[in-house]
Structure 1
Amino acid sequence: MTTEDARNIAIRVRGVTKAFAEVQVLRGVDFDVEAGTIFALLGSNGAGKTTLVRILSTLLKADAGTAVINNWDVVSAPGGVRESISLTGQFSAVDEMLSGRENLELIARLRHLKNPGAIADTMLARFSLTDAGSRKAAVYSGGMRRRLDIAMSLIGDPPVVFLDEPTSGLDPQARIDVWQTVRELAKHGTTVLLTTQYLDEAEKLADRIAILHHGTIIQNGTLDELERLLPSTTVEYVEKRPSLEDVFLALVDDTTTSDAGTASVTKGF
């Protein structure tokens, strides 16, 4: 690897292990994440995804191995890592007693940033929450609350963002809203490490996908590279039926364009 390639790696993990009592959760994890890309860590419940994210975000110490985030070692320079990252966990961290704008202002003040009100307004606009900014977070929908949660985590423009199962428990429309938010992050140069157990989520969002199974990465590559691991199938021409996602979006939107074609549906039936 050249020096230039090394500088372009935002996350480097080598030989990370972690055990809890007699249970070996991570058994030597290795991967790199290129700066400005979306890296999906795919695995079933209990595969060790959250444990790994907690190690990378300095919330938990590994038993062995090394991890470097934005050129900072998680063990020898945890302060540098924390300044470089943001973590959005599986459960929303918003204060429901505060409005959306107040939540954002609070984070800006905690980061000792100037003009917290202006920062809050900018983030509300960026995440399409301006109209809801004055309302308490308690009345937000699941998708709105998750967008606010991500907006809070991006205050201060961290170069690396960890999203730990960000769409867990969300309805289909809210999931799509979060997906668009994640795409926008990478579009603006943010490095995103996304953990998920949803195959379609990794397929739609990730530049690279790593499969974590029994504590190790068993495959790591682009979607095309992973698809080529299986033998090709016989091609048959069949009528394409609309998916459940196509039907759902057509029914909840006045006009929806999808892979199944264009459907115009009037609400209320």
Structure 2
Amino acid sequence: MTYWHALLLAIVEGITEFLPVSSTGHMIIASALLGIPPTPFFKLYLVLIQLGAILSVLVVYWKRFFQNIDFYLKLLVAFLPIVLVGLLFKKHIDALLESVTTVAVMLVVGGVVLLFVDRWFPQEDPKEGGHPVTNPSFKEALIIGLFQCLAVVPGTSRSAATIVGGLTQKLTRQTAAEFAFFLAMPTMAAAAVKDIYDYYKEAKAAGIDVAHLFSGAEIKMLVLGNVVAFVVALLAIRLFVGFVAKYGFRAFGIYRIIAGGILLLMLALKLPLTIV
């Protein structure tokens, strides 16, 4: 893995983290196209640079973080299901991170869902007596958290899963998207801590000195990746919320189906994915 690889993956992460298209799925596709081997550091890099993207939420919504304890308890309730699933199925999840086929299939499946999600969960017009939810209850937060568990399968999209979960509870598109952003923070932080711990255990078992857990080049890649992902995500999150509030999710569904379909066709024809 080179600095060029690290830069490109960070740009992909920043653009896709908050879009319902699967950031992890796109990074797996990008790594396959770039010919990056699935080394332990590469897998860790995919998780850690998501922290840079997630930090953009702090900048965009910093005023919203000054809320009462009720809001944070709801985030905790929504966060707990993914913790349980992650602990129980960590090895299976890691194995899926190497499967481009899984990503392709889930891109198409998720795309079909997004094609119809606006029709299934229309936004209620207040002028006609509709009252869309702008703040989820504890029960609604738990249901959103359960939907987030679907995202352990690469290509599903954590953002898409949690937003759809919010729409099933009659949240507005904007509120569902914003709650998904907030929920991403503890989710990705926990994933990063767990992956760093696992990486440390593997290194220790291999007799590697903890002081040399990361090489100088790897540290530079992580810094570069997080900074780039943060800047790009900062722009993407602003554009996404406005677009979704106005136009809905159909465009993302079409994109996912096309992208997934092309990948499945390439895999079926056994065409090489590596381009460099």
Question: Which structure is richer in relative contact order (CA contacts within 8 A, separation 6 or more)?
Answer: 2
Bucket of the pairwise TM-score, normalised by the shorter protein: under 0.3
TM-score for the superposition, normalised by structure 1: 0.27
TM-score for the superposition, normalised by structure 2: 0.26
Q: Which has the higher strand share?
A: 1
Largest Rg, 1 or 2: 1
